[in-house]
Homo-oligomer: A and B are copies of this chain.
Amino acid sequence: MKVNGKAYRTIWPSKTEEYVEIIDQTRLPFEFVIVKLASLDNTASAITEMLVRGAPLIGATTAWGMWLAMLDDNSDNGLAQAQDQLRATRPTAVNLQWALAKMEAALRPALPPERAVIAYALAQEITDNDVRLCSAIGDYGSRLITDLYKSKGSDTAINILTHCNAGWLATVDWGTALAPIYKAHNAGIPVHVWVDETRPRNQGNFLTAWELHQHGVPNTVIVDNAGGHLMQHGKVDICIVGTDRTTANGDVCNKIGTYLKALAANDNDIPFYVAAPSTSIDWTITDGLKNIPIEQRDSLEVSRISGKLDDGTIGTVQVMPDGSNTRNDAFDVTPARLVTGIITERGVSKANQQSLSKLFPEFI
């Protein structure tokens, strides 16, 4: 997608040298900074510190991290160590494990001297494939928006609520939850997006509002508390969110707070969709509440908020009394019963194993 009119992906290899480049998403929306990842260590900390985030982008970054690792140490031991280091970065997103498994399958049987070349090709394939998946999700999801637009008489904008950032910044391009919105907008359907702020890290106002604004999609930032009230008053037509891991039966693990919006959508008969490339679906589990580890992050994310000071510099304020305790669960699980449908790259599925397995028979 475009930044100041120029097309970008969120991650790309150097054309001439042995590094990849990413957008440092911790600096958005106030600074647009490109960062080089030239080693396994660089890559692991970029994921842990959330310079890159979003399940699909974490998957692609992991793949490039394996390439950088193989450039440095292509032995069996180097392969195992790189996998361990990357696996430890963030526990919830399944795409990370998916990318590691793909890499393992390709690299383990290969002779060490061949591994870097193989890793590069596979990382590029994973990256390009992510763009294709997201584009397909956009195509299927935009039909839902178009249908709503027609059913409402084609004269008012469709109001879409989203939580966190599942836009192109969370993927390689297009996004998952935002792909249908971009595609509908590009096709001339009037849309307006309610952007949940998404405390504690504010991915909504920092990333989603920024990328929608860059692309010219009308949007309004709201606090995480507001969505239910807007739904009660008919101001939301559809919810679309992303997912960090969805189970084979359609339980959806996504950014903390998603569950509350799904409850409100359910209470107000508003469709609640989850945009999930198959790479985000964990076919091995069927109970999201029991089987998905929920990452606990640093309490400083809750107690300190960064933003732009009046002098234009970036500053951080403490928003707790001294000595306060905080707790910071990064994700929650929305039970399948609250999910209207899952928008995949092969079409829209009901949130159950039977429906998902029809679209993806090879996995179940």
Q: A: which residues have CB within 8 A of B?
A: 29-30, 197-200, 202, 205-206, 209-210, 213, 219-230, 232-233, 255-257, 259-261, 263-264, 267, 289, 294, 302-310, 315-321, 323-329, 331-333
Does B309 contact A213, Cβ atoms closer than 8 Å?
A: no
Partner of A317, one of B221, B263, B317, B331: B317
Residue in B closest to A288 when the chains form the complex, CB atoms: B232
* A226/B327 in contact, CB under 8 A: yes
A309 to chain B, nearest CB (A): 6
A230–B325 Cα distance when bound, in Å, is 16
Contact, CB under 8 Å: B259 / A228: yes
The answer for the CA separation of A316 and B309 in the assembled complex, in Å, is: 6
Q: Do A260 and B227 form a contact, CB below 8 Å, given A213-B323, A324-B221?
A: yes
Say yes or no: A321 contacts B202, CB within 8 Å. no
Q: Which residues of chain B have C-beta atoms less than 8 A from A213's C-beta?
A: 321, 323-324
Is B317 a contact of A260 with CB atoms below 8 Å? Answer: no
Contact call B199/A326, Cβ cutoff below 8 A: no
Which of B205, B230, B304 has a CB less than 8 Å from the CB of A320? B205
Quick one: given A199-B199, A225-B198, A226-B256, are A308 and B302 in contact (CB under 8 Å)? no
- Chain B residues with CB under 8 A of A219: 324-325
Determine whether the beta carbon of A199 is less than 8 Å from that of B221: no
Are B320 and A221 neighbours in the complex by a CB distance under 8 Å? yes
Smallest CB-CB separation from A164: which chain B residue?
B225
Closest to A205 in B: B320
Known contacts A205-B321, A229-B329, A321-B210; A263 and B267 CB within 8 A of each other: yes
* Least distance between A32 CB and chain B CB atoms (Å): 11
For residue A232, which residue of chain B has the nearest CB? B289
**Which single residue of chain B is at the shortest CB-CB distance from A294?**
B229
**What are 15 A-to-B residue pairs whose CB atoms are below 8 Å?**
A198-B225, A199-B224, A206-B319, A220-B326, A223-B302, A226-B329, A226-B332, A228-B257, A228-B260, A228-B263, A229-B256, A229-B329, A263-B263, A308-B317, A317-B317
